[in-house]
Structure formats: structure tokens, C-alpha cells
Amino acid sequence: MGIEGPNGSDSPHLSDGQLARLEDGELSAWEASHLQSCPQCGSRLGDARARAAYVEYRDAIRAPLLAPPPKPWQPLDALIARHEASRPRGLHWWSVASVGAAACLMLGLIVTALVLWSPRQTASARASRLLTESAKLALPQRRSISIYLHGRTLVRPAVLATEGEPEGDSDIARLQMVFAAAHYSWREPLSARSFQAWRSALRDKRDSVSIIRAQNDESYRVRTETDSGVLRTASLTLRAPDLRPVAGAFDFEREGIVELAEAAASSEHASGTRALPRRPFTAPSRDETSAGPEVTLHVLAALNQIGADVGEPVEISEDPRHQHVVVHAAGVSRERQRQIAGVLKAVPRVMLEFGSGRSTLPRAKAMPQERYSATIPAPLRQQLEERFGGPSALQEATDRILEASSSAVAQAHALEILARDFGPRIEESLIAPDREILQKLRDNHISELERLISRMRENLKPVLPAIPNGAAAQAANGEAAASWQTGAASLVALARRTDDALNRLLASSYSQSSGEEMLRTLAAQIEQFDYAIRSDGRAGR
């Protein structure tokens, strides 16, 4: 039998109406007491509150973030009336927070995408710049071009009066339809404007720019690849002095490669398409390289992301034909190979070689358990142990100092390679995004050298004498470097000299007097190295 409440009901539990009144603070003393003692009514109240919270979330938070469904056009008066009727009276703070969080997340994704795709975007920016400048060039009106197709060489005007109907020649008629299917101008195919129009309409594309050198002539080749459409790859060769289009190659999905070139001077005034005698098409002998050192720069930047550009057996060179950058890693683990291949995947014109062989790059030296020699004079060893806090503390400090010194040698050598490959003239020739990449790499090396020299000084503090102010600058005995590149070589020499001095002091044999002299000169040696690092850092800014 149920318990009768004050409302006359036989039910032992509160009704939905009574629970709803709780939100308005209208429950009686009996109802409030029952709610505290009845688990079932408490559970029903929790479910009701959860439903109410979801409705509020759906209407106040989720709904404003969703795009509205498509609706038919309505009169303007009706739209205004609906807007006035549905205007919210207030805005919850958590709705603003949700919108702000979503905006921050989207901004973070955009920044991440820009960082990950910077090498490809740099190539696209370079291609766009060359094509834009070339499109501004005024070309001769009665210029002619030659077309190499199916073993035949045909000559036609570079610019047709109109697209017109397909011509009588079957090869030309088919080629005209193929260009139309690719949405590429048949009226003016050897043109930066036509190339740019086709390229800009692509939803996915991969750009690259290379330099072509033939005797004393130089030209740029802009190449665009895509995975959609009938035209999968197109390239345009621009003469370096004035960016005049002189040749092009078009790789159609089922037609093969069609090659275009400016016709010889004798064909300048051709008024229609005509075939030349059949003869093999031979391209002039020329040497094609990547568009300057930026490919190597992008390789170094990618390797720097995983720390593979310093102290590892990874070498960077060019192939014999100077068309690709070869990254050779000897003796690295399979996991490291996968990491290297992963970061270099987005960089064009890169060949990977994983094999055996010895690298010429300096690596961090292996740290044996015992670094200092038992033949260090006993009085000096006792002095070192006392200042460091005992034999074990001396051992640990020795390992840290020599490890930091060896890493500094490898870091200075990496900076020297960067300075050698990207001298002042090459740095000046780079476009702005590439100069920023070079600057960041240089700053990374300088910052790491500063960290390592600070670590060495801190660990040697118990035994090194104080150095007077200005002694390091005086010890440098020279003027400031004109550029960071010229100062990089001296950093390598100072890093090796410091490393040799530390190894002699902590892991070699000598007399008591020699050891005391080494301690006196080592402080000046480290300060001179530190001064040179900071000077080189200032020279690059």
C-alpha cells in the first residue's frame, strides 16, 4: 500500500509536477524531506536536470556553431520578422568560450599546415613569381612555334587568331581537342599566361623550379604536376635574361609527351600549320640543376626538425648530373631511416641512400666509464676531487663536460657547412621565405652552441679562475666578422681547441706544473670561444 502524501495521492513518490516545482523553489517541507530520503525520486530529478542541460546545450551552444540547412528564398520582411522574434535575450559565457576555443583550434591547424608544407609552398611561390613576371613580357606578334608530335615536327603561329575548328591535319586536330579537354589554351600554348591560367585552376598541384645551363645560356624551367585531368604534367622553359617562354613540354594521360619550342628564325613569319621533314627530335645538350641551393636548404631544415643534421652519419651532396640532392645515411637504424624518409617526403628533387660506409661528419665521441687518467698527478687530482665534491662527483662532471665539448665541435662543424653552402651572395639571392629558413637554421646552431658553452662553464666553475672583463675580446685579437659566414670557420677551430684542452686536462697524463698551467689558460680559452659565438650571432642580425 502506498504512502499518501499531502496532495492526497496514493503514490509513495513525487510526481513530475512536484519535481518541476523544485526548480522554482516551491516544494513543501514534506516534499523536500521525501526527496532527500528517496533514491528513486532523486534519480528522476537527476535525469530531468540532465535532459534540461542537454536541451540548453543543443539550443545555446551547439546550434549556433552548425551551418543552417538550405532553405528556399523568402521575402525580406519575413526574414526580418523571424530575426527579431528569435533574437536571444542573453549570451552564456560558455557559448563565447566554445566559439573562442574553436577559433583557436582552427588557427592552430592553419599554422601547423603552413609549417609542414613550407617547402612546397616556397616552390609554388617561386613558380608563381616567374610566371607572373613572364606574363608581363611583350612578345613578337609574328612569332612561330614548332610542335614535336608522333615523330613529326610541325610549325604554326605562336598565337592563333581564334581557337577555330579542328584543322585538317589529323595529328593537329586531335592535339587541339586534347588541349581543349585539358582546359589549356590551344590558341597560345607557349605562353606564361596560358600556363598560369591552367595551373591556377588545378585543385591539387606540385610545383618545382629548376635552372637549365647550356654553355653561356641560362633559363628557368617551371614544372607543375597534378593527379587530376588529362594533362598530368606541364613544364615551361623561360629564358633567364628576360623570362621569355622558349620551350614547353606537356605530358597527357593517353597521348604521351608533346614538346613545343620557338621556331627558328626562318620560320618567324609562318601563317599556318605546316609539317617539316620527318627527323628525330633532339634537344640541345644542356645541364639541368635544381633552382639554386634552396633544395639543399630545405633538406637541412627538414633534417633539423629531427636533429639529424648534427652529429649523425648523414651526408648531403648532389648527383653527378646535378639534378637531385642526395642524402646518404650510413649505419643508421631502420627506425631512424623511416624518420629521415618521413621528413624529406615533402621536399622535391631528393634521393635517399641508406647503406654502409664511413661518414666524414664529426660525431659525438663515445663516453667510456673512466675518462680521466690514473696518471694525473696525485696532488692535482686530490684538488679536483675536493673542489668537485669527491671522486664520484668529479667523474660525473668530467663526463658532462667532455660530452658537451664534443657536441659543441659537431654543432660548430654543422654551422660551418651551412656557411660554406650559403655564402653572402647565395643568401642574398634567396627569396624571402628561404632567407628566413636559413636565418632560423643559423640561429638554432648559435643557440645550441651558447647552451653548450654555458654548460661547460657551469660544470667547470669549481676549478676555473675568474677572468677579467674584456679579456675574452682581447684574446680574440681581431675585428668582428663581416658576416656570420666568415666567422663560422673560426668557431670550428675554437671548438676543437677547447675540446683538446679539456681532454688533456681531464683525460690525459701530464705533470703537476702542466696541469696548473692548463687550469689557468682553460678559463680564457672558454671565454674566447663564448665571445666568438656571441659575435657570430650578432653578425647574422
Q: Supply the DSSP string of 314-330, one letter for each residue.
A: EEEEE-TTSSSEEEEEE
Tell me, yes or no, whether 255 and 206 share the same domain: yes
Q: Is residue 118 part of a domain?
A: no
CB count within 10 Å of CB 191 equals 22
Confidence category of residue 266, pLDDT binned at 50, 70, 90: very low
Tell me, yes or no, whether 53 and 179 share the same domain: no
CATH number of the domain where residue 246 is located: 2.50.20
**Domain of 29?**
16-63
Q: What is the pLDDT of residue 403?
A: 92
Cell, residue 391:
671522486
Tell me, yes or no, whether 164 and 249 share the same domain: yes
Say how far apart CA 250 and CA 21 lie, in whole Å.
77
Q: Is residue 92 part of a domain?
A: no
Q: What whole-number percentage of the chain has pLDDT above 70?
A: 68
Judged by DSSP in three states, 454 sits in helix
Tell me, yes or no, whether 272 and 319 share the same domain: no
Q: Which residue has the higher pLDDT, 541 or 21?
A: 21
For the entire predicted model, the pTM comes to: 0.49
Of 32, 5, 11, 10, the residue nearest 21 (C-alpha): 32
Q: Residue 427: pLDDT above 70?
A: yes
Of 339, 323, 328, 296, the residue nearest 441 (C-alpha): 296
Say how far apart CA 513 and CA 221 lie, in whole Å.
67
Say how far apart CA 8 and CA 247 lie, in whole Å.
98
Cell, residue 182:
585539358
Q: What is the pLDDT of residue 4?
A: 43
Highest averaged pLDDT of the listed ranges 35-39, 102-106, 196-200, 395-399: 196-200
Q: Angle, to 10 degrees, between the axis of helix 192-200 and the axis of helix 118-135? A: 140
Q: What is the pLDDT of residue 537?
A: 79
Of 145, 150, 109, 396, the residue nearest 268 (C-alpha): 145
Q: What is the pLDDT of residue 379?
A: 84
Q: Is residue 93 part of a domain?
A: no
The arithmetic mean of pLDDT across residues 469-485, rounded, is 58
Tell me, yes or no, whether 505 and 384 share the same domain: yes
Tell me, yes or no, whether 441 and 480 share the same domain: yes
Cell, residue 324:
637531385
Q: Is residue 91 part of a domain?
A: no
* Total domains, the chain: 4
Cell, residue 524:
680564457
Q: Is residue 44 part of a domain?
A: yes
Tell me, yes or no, whether 404 and 489 share the same domain: yes
Confidence category of residue 366, pLDDT binned at 50, 70, 90: very low
Tell me, yes or no, whether 169 and 279 share the same domain: yes
Tell me, yes or no, whether 286 and 425 share the same domain: no
Tell me, yes or no, whether 278 and 204 share the same domain: yes
Tell me, yes or no, whether 324 and 351 share the same domain: yes
Confidence category of residue 228, pLDDT binned at 50, 70, 90: confident
Residue 487 Cα to chain centre, angstroms: 27
Q: What is the pLDDT of residue 481?
A: 61
Q: Is residue 321 part of a domain?
A: yes
Which domain-ending residue is among 316, 343, 361? 361
Q: What is the pLDDT of residue 117?
A: 41
Which domain-ending residue is among 342, 361, 380? 361
Instruction: Tell the burial category of 514 from Cβ atoms under 10 Å away from its Cβ (0-12, 13-18, 19+).
Output: middle
Q: Is residue 387 part of a domain?
A: yes
Which domain-ending residue is among 242, 271, 290? 290
The answer to whether 399 touches 502, Cβ cutoff 8 Å, is: no
**pLDDT per position as a tens digit, 150-162:** 777 888 899 988 7
Q: Which residue has the higher pLDDT, 269 or 375?
A: 375
Q: What is the pLDDT of residue 109?
A: 44
CATH number of the domain where residue 329 is located: 3.30.1340.30
Q: Residue 388: pLDDT above 80?
A: yes
Of 287, 240, 279, the residue nearest 146 (C-alpha): 279
Tell me, yes or no, whether 262 and 308 share the same domain: no
Say how far apart CA 147 and CA 186 lie, in whole Å.
12
Confidence category of residue 238, pLDDT binned at 50, 70, 90: very high
What rounded mean pLDDT belongs to the chain? 75
Q: Is residue 111 part of a domain?
A: no
**pLDDT per position as a tens digit, 65-115:** 454 544 454 554 555 566 556 555 543 433 444 445 455 555 444 444 433
